[in-house]
């Protein structure tokens, strides 16, 4: 792509042209060499979007809630971006079929950008790509960017590091209390949603969550995670959810936590890009062959992994 | 720790002393500066353990299956190691209460090593620590090392990169077919277990899995993922599961895939150690303050993240 073409693309994205936005996110997804120029052009125009993460186990209704939130924000006249991040995509190529179906009602709304994003399999792929895709949507004038991700564990934690506010969504019948605690949801959630609140066992989930959140030690002025019951498929509890999001945003701004979360997210992004550069530098110098040779020596017990890593570091520096 | 003390510790671990093994895994978990010497001492004595990953959503019965497999392997007179990796621990400090309860029947068996392992919050924490902990158990004479991890998404994928054989465990009532496909389980699973096979809906899960695995394109000689129904809590289907594991191991060895998986695992380990070294080098040179300054400039739009990363890389090199 010529420099003039890139400048044009960035300009069009800034005015909100959906095709230009989609094109830029593809560059992010593919870790294009053009990204540097794209980010340099966008960075001064980003910083006002509110980033809301939505996470939880498969089947709890994340996409349905996301779609309902989009409808609500659109009703307020706000431009909205949705990133459905699929951490499984290093293997699958990442088609979020279910989500796409649920999001279809927004497909013809020019002020809603919906994007399923795959991340490459390397370490920190999500950490580097998600903030960049958020920046594209932010610079394109989205006031809200919803980042939806499946799963518990590492991916959930990575989403929490990207978002200003993280909604952890649960539903009845998805595992017991100990399991939920184990998945670390207490620590990543700013707002808990208990979806499918009309199903059996929903009250039990709410009760467990209440008991767990009560056990968290808090200082005065700390955020108290609200628990919102929803039936996202018919919009029940949506007003309460939006109210909880507004309250959390106000707390973030007042407490200084908004600034420190965004600082952390940017530090992580810089570090991920730096590590990517170093990794690439190593592969340019030696190719995968050298790493293969080192790995083979470790496997046959002739070299320890730290000595091997030292060779890698020396080659990178 | 003095050099002589470390040598003694490694020697005791090699003879299978459980306290020495536990101590070495703690060194791994805490990313101790002694690790390098530990790995150098162990690397020549490792390489024979079979590493089996067990993954799936919370509540499907992973720990129950793990415990049943331990019983079966112990019945064959084999020494067994279990690593319960908790990817949520960057936030929780990682107490796998539920698992520990389920594993208790093996607590007094001197030839079973069970360890809940937390990994620190940094990128690739799991990628670096898990193969090292496996190496400790391997060198301590474990013929089988079972690596259990909670969750779908990134953590599941990381387990797949550590294991020779990955069991993906499902259970009825944990989400529909599309959701399962989305979580990438088809690609990471070598063997599928459908646990709680006596519950409603188990047949439906088996049918969905069959349909999905049929859609995968295979070359002649490729592995065909078996689907094993189990009721792990009472040992039903255990013989079939062990048979599937044996068959997969034979296929791995014949096809050359065992070697290439172990190569990949070792490459990932070396790379993770190298990146950790570089990260530490940066923080030694500049401290977090410099990174904070760079992040603040990116946040106010004065610097693009790539230019910031370049400064980081220059400082590291």
* 8 Å CB contact of B295 and A266: yes
B137 confidence band (pLDDT: 50, 70, 90): very high
A21 to chain B nearest CA, in Å? Answer: 19
CA A119 to the chain's CA centroid: 11
A57 confidence band (pLDDT: 50, 70, 90): confident
* 8 Å CB contact of A90 and B157: yes
A122 to chain B nearest CA, in Å? Answer: 10
* 8 Å CB contact of A270 and B132: no
- pLDDT for A33: 86
User: Tell me, what CATH number does B136's domain have?
Assistant: 3.40.50.300
> What residues of chain B lie within 8 A of the CB of A97, using their CB?
178, 181-182
Residues A142 and A290 in one domain: no
Place of tokens 């936030």: B91
Place of tokens 């024979």: B48
The domain boundary, picked from B207, B223, B255, lies at: B255
Kindly state whether residue B52 falls inside one of the protein's structural domains: yes
- pLDDT for A91: 34
Kindly state whether residue A222 falls inside one of the protein's structural domains: yes
Q: What is the mean pLDDT of chain B?
A: 82
Distance between CA atoms of residues B288 and B292, nearest Å = 6
Residues A64 and A95 in one domain: yes
The domain boundary, picked from B206, B232, B255, lies at: B255
> What residues of chain A lie within 8 A of the CB of B282, using their CB?
274
- Answer whether B143's CB lies under 8 Å from B48's CB: yes
Residues A51 and A172 in one domain: yes
Residues A90 and A182 in one domain: yes
B79 confidence band (pLDDT: 50, 70, 90): very high
Task: Give the residue from chain A lying closest to B266, CA to CA.
Answer: A295
Q: What is the mean pLDDT of chain A?
A: 82
- Answer whether A6's CB lies under 8 Å from A14's CB: no
Distance between CA atoms of residues A46 and A41, nearest Å = 10
* 8 Å CB contact of A58 and B174: yes
Using alpha carbons only, give the angle B159, B266, A268 rounded to the nearest 5 degrees.
65
> What residues of chain A lie within 8 A of the CB of B274, using their CB?
282, 309-310, 312-313, 316
Poorest-pLDDT segment among A203-207, A253-257, A290-294, B277-281:
B277-281
The domain boundary, picked from B222, B255, B288, lies at: B255
B116 forms beta bridges with: B84
Kindly state whether residue B265 falls inside one of the protein's structural domains: no
User: Which of B88, B310, B316 has its CB closest to that of A183?
Assistant: B88
Residue B314 has φ and ψ, to the nearest 5°, of -60, -40
Residues B288 and B155 in one domain: no
A135 confidence band (pLDDT: 50, 70, 90): very high
Kindly state whether residue A15 falls inside one of the protein's structural domains: no
- pLDDT for A157: 52
- pLDDT for B127: 58
B83 forms beta bridges with: B115, B147
Residues A99 and A62 in one domain: yes
* Domain boundaries, position B297: 270-316
- pLDDT for A119: 55
Give the residue from A166, A139, A138 showing the smallest Cα distance to A249: A166
Kindly state whether residue A17 falls inside one of the protein's structural domains: no
Kindly state whether residue B263 falls inside one of the protein's structural domains: no
Residues B274 and B145 in one domain: no
Reported as a single tens digit per residue, the pLDDT across B211-259 is 878 877 788 889 999 999 999 999 999 999 999 999 999 999 999 999 9
* 8 Å CB contact of A277 and B301: no
List C-alpha distances in Å: B63 to A59, B85, B232: 22, 11, 9
Kindly state whether residue B260 falls inside one of the protein's structural domains: no
User: Highest-confidence range of A20-29, B112-121, B267-276, by mean pLDDT?
Assistant: A20-29
Residues A74 and A105 in one domain: yes
The residue that leads in pLDDT, B19 or A149, is: B19
Give the residue from B167, B1, B17, B157 showing the smallest Cα distance to B87: B157
Distance between CA atoms of residues B261 and B50, nearest Å = 12
* 8 Å CB contact of A274 and B316: yes
A174 confidence band (pLDDT: 50, 70, 90): low
Poorest-pLDDT segment among A138-147, B49-58, B236-245:
B49-58
Interface test with B, best of A28, A148, A154 (most B CBs within 10 A): A154
B149 forms beta bridges with: B55, B85
Find the helix packing angle between B257-299 and B125-139, rounded to 10°. 150
Specify the number of domains making up chain A. 2
Give the residue from B243, B187, B272 showing the smallest Cα distance to A278: B272
B105 confidence band (pLDDT: 50, 70, 90): confident
B119 confidence band (pLDDT: 50, 70, 90): low
Kindly state whether residue A24 falls inside one of the protein's structural domains: no
Reported as a single tens digit per residue, the pLDDT across B153-174 is 444 455 557 899 999 888 887 6
- pLDDT for A158: 58
For residue A209, give both structure tokens: 């969550």
- Answer whether A78's CB lies under 8 Å from A168's CB: no
B234 secondary structure, DSSP code: G
**Mean pLDDT within B284-290:** 74
Give the residue from A213, A69, A222 showing the smallest Cα distance to A148: A69
B201 confidence band (pLDDT: 50, 70, 90): confident
The per-residue DSSP string of A220-265 comes to TT-----EEE-BGGGTBTHHHHHHHHHHHHHHHHHHTHHHHHHHHH
> What residues of chain B lie within 8 A of the CB of A280, using their CB?
none
ipTM higher than the 0.85 cut: no
The percent of residues in chain B predicted with pLDDT above 90, rounded, is: 45
**Mean pLDDT within A244-253:** 98
Report strand pairing: B112-118 vs B144-150.
Answer: unpaired
A297 to chain B nearest CA, in Å? Answer: 10
* 8 Å CB contact of B59 and A187: no
List C-alpha distances in Å: B84 to A37, B62, B151: 44, 10, 12
> What residues of chain B lie within 8 A of the CB of A307, using their CB?
36, 40
Poorest-pLDDT segment among A252-261, B166-175, B278-287:
B278-287
> What residues of chain B lie within 8 A of the CB of A282, using their CB?
274
- pLDDT for A102: 56
pLDDT at A87 over 90: no
A51 forms beta bridges with: A145
User: Highest-confidence range of A100-104, A198-202, B181-185, by mean pLDDT?
Assistant: A198-202
- pLDDT for B145: 96
Residues A181 and A312 in one domain: no
* 8 Å CB contact of A275 and B270: no
What SS3 class is residue A30?
Answer: coil
Residues B197 and B288 in one domain: no
- pLDDT for A90: 36
> What residues of chain B lie within 8 A of the CB of A89, using their CB?
184
- pLDDT for A123: 43
A151 confidence band (pLDDT: 50, 70, 90): low
Residues A60 and A201 in one domain: yes
User: Which of A91, A155, A263 has its CB closest to that of B299?
Assistant: A263
Residues B245 and B288 in one domain: no
**Mean pLDDT within B115-136:** 71
User: Highest-confidence range of A132-136, A265-269, B127-131, by mean pLDDT?
Assistant: A132-136
């Amino acid at each position: 792509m010529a420099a003039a073409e890139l400048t044009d693309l960035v300009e069009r994205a800034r005015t909100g042209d959906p095709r230009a936005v989609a094109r830029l996110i593809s560059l992010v997804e593919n870790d294009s060499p053009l990204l540097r120029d794209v980010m340099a052009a966008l960075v001064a125009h980003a910083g006002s979007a509110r980033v809301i993460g939505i996470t939880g186990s498969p089947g709890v209704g994340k996409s349905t809630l996301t779609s309902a939130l989009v409808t609500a924000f659109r009703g307020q006249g706000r431009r909205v971006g949705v990133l459905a991040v699929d951490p499984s995509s290093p293997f699958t190529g990442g088609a979020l079929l279910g989500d796409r179906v649920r999001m279809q009602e927004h497909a013809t709304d020019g002020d809603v950008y919906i994007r399923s994003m795959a991340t490459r399999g390397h370490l920190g792929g999500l950490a580097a790509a998600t903030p960049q895709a958020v920046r594209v949507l932010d610079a394109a004038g989205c006031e809200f960017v919803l980042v939806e991700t499946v799963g518990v564990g590492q991916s959930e934690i990575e989403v929490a590091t990207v978002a200003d506010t993280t909604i952890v969504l649960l539903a009845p019948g998805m595992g017991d209390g100990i399991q939920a605690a184990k998945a670390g949801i207490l620590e990543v959630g700013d707002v808990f949603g208990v979806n499918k609140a009309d199903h059996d066992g929903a009250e039990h989930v709410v009760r467990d969550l209440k008991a767990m959140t009560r056990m968290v030690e808090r200082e005065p002025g700390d955020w108290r995670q609200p628990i919102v019951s929803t039936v996202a498929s018919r919009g029940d509890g949506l007003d309460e959810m939006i109210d909880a999001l507004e309250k959390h945003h106000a707390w973030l701004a007042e407490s200084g936590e908004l600034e420190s979360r965004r600082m952390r997210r940017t530090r992580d992004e810089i570090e991920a890009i730096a590590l990517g550069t170093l990794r690439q530098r190593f592969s340019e110098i030696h190719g995968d062959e050298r790493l293969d040779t080192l790995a083979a020596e470790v496997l046959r017990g002739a070299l320890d992994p730290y000595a091997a890593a030292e060779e890698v570091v020396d080659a990178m520096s």
